[in-house]
Amino acid sequence: MSFSPEANSDVPTLPKVHSGIPPYLLDKAREAKQDVFAGRTKAQNARQRLPVVPQGIERDDFLKALDELREQLGAEHVEVNNKPLRDGWYMEHPNTHDMMTILDEEELVASAVVFPGSTQEVQQVVRWANKHLIPIFPISMGRNLGYGGAAPRVRGSVTVDLGRRMNAILDINAEDYTCLVEPGVSYYALYEALKARGLDEHMWIDTPDLGGGSVIGNAVDRGVGYTPYGDHWACHAGLEVVLPSGEVIRTGMGALPGNNSWQLFPYGFGPFSDGIFSQSNFGIVTQMGMTLMPNPGGYEAFMYTFPNDEDLGPLMDIIRPLRISNIFENVAQVRHVTQGLASRGLPRSTYYTSPGPIPSSILRAAAASTPVGDHAWAYYGMAYGPAHIRAHKLALIDSEFRRVPGARKIDPSTLPPDEYFWSRERVARGVPDIQELAWVNWAPNGAHIAFSPVSPIRGADAARLFELGKRRVEAAGFDFMPAFVVGLREMHLIVEIVFDRGDVGSKKAALACLRDLVDEAAAMGYGEYRTHLVLMDQIAGTYGWNDGALMKFNEKLKDALDPNGILAPGRCGIWPKRYRGRGWEMTRESGGRSEGDGVGPA
């Protein structure tokens, strides 16, 4: 069964392909790929297509403009998107559309993809976009899966794929524990570079659940990892940014010619500008500094399980003081058994074939037959430092967790090497993995989209969010798979809805459910930390204090920095002047349509 040319090819590897898998994960990636294609029934779109031309320019003018860009970048660095859209899979993902599409796949689609090779070429692309009034959408690697992947918000935008040719690790400083990277550097690649230089025992990177993402892209979208350096945005230091005008700036100490502290002191002098380049459309980040963690001299991963759904509240009230005082040192996950079972990688049909949510009895019986055993919640954490330092923290944690009746500490030596626990163990010591993909196979043609509200680390909040999520997700016909990701003083609840992207009804139900979740959570005082392209307008609207004062401020910045509105229009709900008042916002009412009615003059 070959719906996709990728299905029969081998997994691309580093360093041959910048976005490839490192050798130590190749076998695992091959298995993951088999599992993905085993669950795929959706036929690949084989239709030869005309490129979607963005609103505001005629087709002929657009094609002529692309010729001009070919002359500047080289014809091989401009690809028109007129071929059948291919979904591929995690390691061979498209840069033309959202591989996890929740709309019709011709909605959030690029007209062309261009590959600049330097900051100067990014500037050229931006100036070209201004000249022709063509919307561009930068991606680092395009693996923001669950949040829109590589797709542009405005249909027919030209995707600027920064990663393919700008993937250098410009510096690794083993004395200051920092690095400086370009957009095409993945966690996999950074980790491989530390190993190649013999530095992986000396210093650690911090990786998200999956290591294929761009270090820049993830930080700029304020993604999360699982060592003490898990807040990626907080851990960055120094940006180089191409502005929508085509000018280029360096922030912080980078503005001082000849400085040697760009990666050491993020603030420099004057207003701290970095924030406006995160979750925005105010600039294209072409270089970023990142701090790295000294090897702490030892580590010990641990896992506790708790028997009842209702244990969540007491558990969170135990976690909060321990986390804020750094007894819990890393960004930890508290996962529900549904997610635990799905993470074993088998389709839901292995356990249950009727429609509607899996009955708890079936879920719990399935969990009981796994090495971890029956449970409702699992806490995954790690203690760092030499043994005597860890012993103090682990003893405190143990006595606190055991206040929950039925709490069990899982002995890692009882868990087989392919158990999910060991993936969390690797990630918590900065070793990138690919295991997290497994739960996407829960549904046929599995795709995922996240609901990610922020709350205090408090029992009452966790219980309210759990009730909201369970009620809404199950009413929509999906299994509820919550995971709480505990930051320092807050937590992100991550509810991934796994839907069948080959089924229009499944896509519609997932989107409607997300819209309900966002609105109801906002009415309760909760907002999302990050979101998918299709929810950005709605969520930006929930941050509406004082008559939308924050969005008015963002629009002022947008109009000042990008008067032609060429850079990622609509990203994070920020629409340039030429687009405003023309119905571009995606809401419940706009349904599956992503476009508005035209754009205004320059």
CA–CA separation, 40 vs 355, rounded Å? 19
The CA distance from 562 to 175, in Å, is 39
Rounded to the nearest 10 degrees, the angle between the axes of helix 504-523 and helix 459-475 is 150
Q: What minimum distance in Å lies between the beta carbon of 422 and ligand EUG? A: 16
Question: Which residues, other chains included, contact 38 with Cβ-Cβ below 8 Å and sequence gap of 6+?
Answer: 441
Shortest CB 215 distance to ligand EUG, Å: 15
- Pick the closer one to ligand EUG by CB: 286 or 452: 452
Query: Residues 147, 191, 379, 380: which is the catalytic one?
Result: 147
Q: Which among 78, 65, 53, 68 has a CA at the least distance from the CA of 132? A: 65
- Shortest CB 409 distance to ligand EUG, Å: 22
Output 132 or 530, the one with its CB closest to ligand EUG: 530
Cβ nearer to ligand EUG, comparing 331 with 551: 331
Instruction: Kindly tell me which of 224 and 301 has the beta carbon lying closer to ligand EUG.
Output: 224
The distance in angstroms from the start CA to the end CA of the chain is 50
Q: How many CB atoms lie within 10 A of CB 546?
A: 7
Q: Is 43 exposed, middle or buried (0-12, 13-18, 19+ CB in 10 A)?
A: exposed
501 assigned to active site: no
Shortest distance in whole angstroms from residue 417 CB to ligand EUG: 21
Least distance between ligand EUG and beta carbon 433 (Å): 12
DSSP E strand boundaries for 417-548: 446-451, 454-456, 482-486, 490-500
The answer to whether 65 and 474 are in contact (CB under 8 A) is no
* Contact by Cβ (8 Å): 13, 29: no
d(CA 141, CA 146): 14
Q: Give residues in contact with ligand EUG (CB under 6 A).
A: 146, 209, 224, 450, 452, 483, 485, 492, 494, 530
Nearer to ligand EUG, 51 or 149 (CB): 149
As measured in angstroms, the least distance from the Cβ of 591 to ligand EUG is 25
The reply to whether 530 belongs to the active site is yes
Return the structure tokens found at 542. Answer: 């929930």
Q: One of 344, 530, 571, 580 is an active-site residue; which one? A: 530
CB of 391 to ligand EUG, least distance (A): 29
Q: Residues 191, 380, 529, 579: which is the catalytic one?
A: 529
- Residues 153, 133: Cα–Cα separation, whole Å: 16
Quote helix, strand, coil % in the chain, to nearest 5. Answer: 35, 20, 45
Place of tokens 């030499």: 386
- Is 529 one of the catalytic residues? yes
Nearest to 217 by CA among 170, 162, 294, 266: 162
One-letter amino acid at 192 equals E
The torsion angles phi and psi of 139, rounded to 5 degrees, stand at -125, 150
Q: Give least dist CB 98 to ligand EUG, A.
A: 15
Please report, as a single letter, which amino acid is at residue 144. Answer: N
Instruction: Please identify, using beta-carbon distances, which residue of 130 and 452 lies nearer to ligand EUG.
Output: 452
Residue nearest to ligand EUG (CB): 224
- Closest alpha carbon to 74 in 109, 110, 124: 124
Is residue 110 within 8 A of residue 157, CB to CB? The reply is yes
Active site residues: 147, 529-530
